[in-house]
Structure 1
Amino acid sequence: MNPRFTAKPSIATIMAPGITLAGNPLDDPHERYVQVYLPPSYDGERRFPVIYLLSGFASTGRSFMNYSFGRPTVPEMVEKLITEGAMQECLIVMPDCMTRYGGSQYVDSDATGRYESYLVEELIPFIDHSFATLPRREGRAIAGKSSGGFGALRLAMKHPDCFSAAACHSGDMYFELCYRPNFPAAARILERYRGSVSAFLETYESALKKPGNEFPLLDIIAMSAAYSPDRNKPAPENMRLPFDTYTCEIIEPVWKEWLTFDPLSMIEHKKYRDALRSLSLLYLDCGSFDEYNLQYGHRIFSAKAKKYGIAHRYEEFPDSHTDTSYRYGVSLPELSNVISA
C-alpha cells in the first residue's frame, strides 16, 4: 500500500454462481469472483446502500484494486472519503463481466452471453442475500468509466426499477465518432490475417506480450459481438462487423443495429427519458482531450437531456481518456449521498 494512504479498506471477495452465464457461447467461466468494499461500520446487521461499479473494456472489478504510485486504489479513496466525512458509508460491488473478446459491454448477446441479465436479475439479488444491504431501488446506484460508463448509463435507462442514481464517466456514446474512426485501423489489421477473426485471436491470445498496435481490432471484435452478434456462426466468428473488410464501406443494416445501443439514440425514446427523469442523481463527466472523441458525445447527450427536462450534472475536466480513476472521488460521494437519504 502507498504509505501516503493509511486507510485499510475491508474487501470481501465472494464467488457469484453465475447461473445466467452458464453455457455461454465463448465457454467463459460462469462462476465469477466479485469484489465488495465494506464500509468501516459494516457489521453484518446494519443495512447499507450499494453502488455497483463497472470496469472499462479489458478490465474486471479487480482492476479497481490496482496499485498506482502516488495514487490510492478506488477502495482506499473511498475509505479516506468516508473517514473524512466527505462520503456516506455504503457497499461498493465490483463485478467481473469479462469475456474472451475483452469485455461484454454489459449487454445480453448471442455472441458472448447474457451479461445484462446476469447483473440485474442474478447478481443484485445475490448481493442482497449475501450482505446487509438496503434491498430496494432507492438504496442502489450504478457507476462506471468508458465501457463501464456506457453500461452504467444504459442499465439505468433500461432498469429504473433497479437503480435510483447513476454516474457515467467518459462512457461510450456518439458511435459515429467514438467507434467509426477506428474501422480503417481494424480493417488493416484484419487484412494481415486474411480476414479471419479466428486467426487473429489465436495469434493474439498466444502472444506473451499482446501487440498494442492490434488492440483496435480486438476492440471492434468485442463491440461487434455485443452489438451485432451472429448466432448462425460458431465462436469466434459469431459476430457481424459493421464494415466491409476489403473496402471498409459501412454495412448499413449492421451499423443501424449498433446505433440502437448508442445512448444518443436511446435518449430519443420516451421510456428511457422517463427512466432518466426518475433518477435522484444523473452524473456525467468526460475529459476535454478524450482520445475517443467522447467529450463531443457527452456534450450532445447533456444538451439533449436539458432539452427534454432531464435533471443531470455534466462536467468536463482537463484530461484524456486514460488514468482518470480520481474522478470517482467526485461521483461516488454524490451517489452515496442520494442513496443514503
Structure 2
Amino acid sequence: MIRAPRLFAIAAAFFLLAVSSFAADSGTLVDREIHSENLTHNLIGVDPTRKLTIYLPPGYNTSTQRYPVIYFLPNPFGGHHDIFDQHHAAELFDRAIAANQIGKFILVSVDMRTPFGSTWYVNSPVTGNWQDFYIRDLVPYIDANFRTLATRNSRALLGDYIGGYGALRFGMAYPDIFSVVYAMHPVGTGSGVQMLVSRPNWSAIANAKSLSDLNSDGFTPIFASMFQAHLPNPAKAPLYFDPPAHLINGKLVIDSAQMARLRDNLFIESLIPKYADNLKSLHGLKIDWPRSDGIWDHVFANEALTYKLNEFGIPHEAEEFNGTWMNGTSGGDPYWDGADSRVYNEVLPFFRNHLDF
C-alpha cells in the first residue's frame, strides 16, 4: 500500500516532468533593439534604434545546434510583434515543428516602419537607408548573437502584404544572402488596373504644410511614403518628394518623367529584367494572393507578375487562393488564423522543402 505522502511525491514528480517536457517543446521569444547608423541621416524623424523579436525553436537553450533563419517582413500597418500577440505565431511554429511541417528554425521580425508608413525597403535620403540596415546591420547582428547556420542556403525571406513586396526586393537584390523567398499577398508588384494617381488626395499633397496634413484619408499616407522612398527630393520640404502628378486649374496632369521614374523604381515587374539571373539562382520562390481582394490592382498585378517571371524563365510557384485578405476560416487572417492557416499548411512546408537545415 502506498502512503499518501509517497503518493503525493509521485504525483508531483509526474507533474514536474510534464511541465518540463512541455517547456522543452515550446519555443522562446526574445526582444532586442539594434541601433543603425544607416538610419540616422533621415529627414522625417525615423528612430535609428529598431525593435526586433526573435523566435527561438524548442530546445534552443539546452542544445548547441545551429538553425536556419527565416527573416519575416511584417505588414507595416501593424507592429513587428503582431504575429505573436494577435495570431499566436510562436505556438503555431511550435505545433508545426512537432508535426514535422518544418524543421527547427529561428524567425526574426523587425520594425521596418517610418513615422509616415512603409519604408518600401529601399535606401532613401529622406526615410533612411533601409536596405543597408537590413543587409549590413540586421543579418550580421543575428549571426553574431544567435546560433544560426550563417549561409545563404539556410536563410529565407517571408513577407506579408507590403512586407511581401520587401521580401521580393531583398531576394532579387541579394541572392548571395538569401536562397528562398515566400511573398504572401505582395503589393507593388505591378500596375494592375488601378492607376497610381487615382488614390492619393492631390489637393492635400499640393497644399500640405507638414506631413500630418496628409492624414486626411487612408490612401494618401501610403502613397506619400511610396513617393518618399522612390521619388525622394531632400530639397522639397516638408514632404521631401517629387510628385508624379499635379493639379493644374483643378485638372490632374501627369508628370511623365517622374511617373516613369516611379514605375521603374517601384514595380517588381519592372525590376525583373535587371534581376532575372539573381532570381533564377534562388532555391525557392513563391508568391500567393487571395482572389477576392477588394483592391483589384493586387490580384491582376500578381497574375501579371507570374507571367512575367515565366517570360524570363524564372522558376517559381504562384497560387491564387479563394478568399480575401482578412477572411480566413475563423473570420480572421487566412495566413495565420484557423485550423487551415496558410502559414502552417503552405508556407512552412515550402521552407522545409527548400531550406538547408
CA distance in 2, matches of 1:156, 1:202: 35
Q: Which has the higher contact order (CA 8 A, sep 6+)?
A: 1
Query: Over alpha carbons, which structure has the higher Rg?
Result: 2
Deviations 1:205-252 (A, max 9, x none): xxxxxx7xx011111111111111112123x41012222144223221
Aligned residues: 317
1:290-305 matched pairs, under 5 angstroms: 290-292=293-295, 293-305=297-309
Q: State the superposition RMSD in angstroms.
A: 2.2
Contact between 2:26 and 2:57, CA under 8 Å: does it hold in 1?
A: no
- 1:26 and 2:36 aligned: no
- 1:283 and 2:298 aligned: no
| Partner residue, 1:262 | 267
Query: SS at 1:180's partner residue?
Result: coil
CA distance in 2, matches of 1:90, 1:136: 14
| Partner residue, 2:80 | 61
Deviations 1:111-167 (A, max 9, x none): 201001100111000111111101111110001021111110111111111100001
| Partner residue, 2:324 | 320
Once the two structures are TM-superposed, the CA of residue 202 in structure 1 deviates from its matched residue by: 5.0
| Partner residue, 1:3 | none
| Partner residue, 2:35 | 17
| Partner residue, 1:242 | 244
CA distance in 1, matches of 2:118, 2:205: 24
Contact between 1:136 and 1:162, CA under 8 Å: does it hold in 2?
A: yes
CA distance in 2, matches of 1:77, 1:197: 44
Once the two structures are TM-superposed, the CA of residue 93 in structure 1 deviates from its matched residue by: 0.4
For residues 91 and 178 of structure 1, do their structure 2 counterparts lie closer, same or farther at Cα, with a shift above 3 Å needed?
A: farther
Q: Return the match for 2:117 from 95, 102, 120.
A: 102
| Partner residue, 2:158 | 143
- 1:45 and 2:27 aligned: no
| Unaligned segments of structure 2, at least 5 residues | 1-22, 327-332, 337-341
CA distance in 1, matches of 2:42, 2:205: 27
Once the two structures are TM-superposed, the CA of residue 303 in structure 1 deviates from its matched residue by: 1.5
More displaced, 152-161 or 247-256? 247-256
More displaced, 161-170 or 329-338? 329-338
Q: Return the match for 2:206 from 182, 191, 195.
A: 195
Counterpart residue identity of residue 116, structure 2? Y
CA distance in 2, matches of 1:285, 1:98: 23
- 1:114 and 2:124 aligned: no
Contact between 1:149 and 1:170, CA under 8 Å: does it hold in 2?
A: yes
Once the two structures are TM-superposed, the CA of residue 90 in structure 1 deviates from its matched residue by: 0.6
Contact between 1:282 and 1:313, CA under 8 Å: does it hold in 2?
A: yes
CA distance in 1, matches of 2:302, 2:90: 27
Query: SS at 1:122's partner residue?
Result: helix
Query: SS at 1:14's partner residue?
Result: strand
| Partner residue, 1:170 | 185
Counterpart residue identity of residue 186, structure 1? P
Normalised TM-score (structure 2) = 0.82
CA distance in 2, matches of 1:123, 1:215: 30
| Partner residue, 1:207 | none
Contact between 2:160 and 2:184, CA under 8 Å: does it hold in 1?
A: yes
Query: SS at 1:291's partner residue?
Result: coil
For residues 113 and 250 of structure 1, do their structure 2 counterparts lie closer, same or farther at Cα, with a shift above 3 Å needed?
A: same
Normalised TM-score (structure 1) = 0.86
CA distance in 1, matches of 2:324, 2:356: 32
Once the two structures are TM-superposed, the CA of residue 194 in structure 1 deviates from its matched residue by: 7.5
Contact between 1:108 and 1:226, CA under 8 Å: does it hold in 2?
A: yes
Contact between 1:54 and 1:149, CA under 8 Å: does it hold in 2?
A: yes
Contact between 2:165 and 2:189, CA under 8 Å: does it hold in 1?
A: no
Contact between 1:172 and 1:178, CA under 8 Å: does it hold in 2?
A: no
For residues 200 and 121 of structure 1, do their structure 2 counterparts lie closer, same or farther at Cα, with a shift above 3 Å needed?
A: closer
Contact between 1:88 and 1:333, CA under 8 Å: does it hold in 2?
A: no
- 1:229 and 2:245 aligned: no
Once the two structures are TM-superposed, the CA of residue 196 in structure 1 deviates from its matched residue by: 2.9
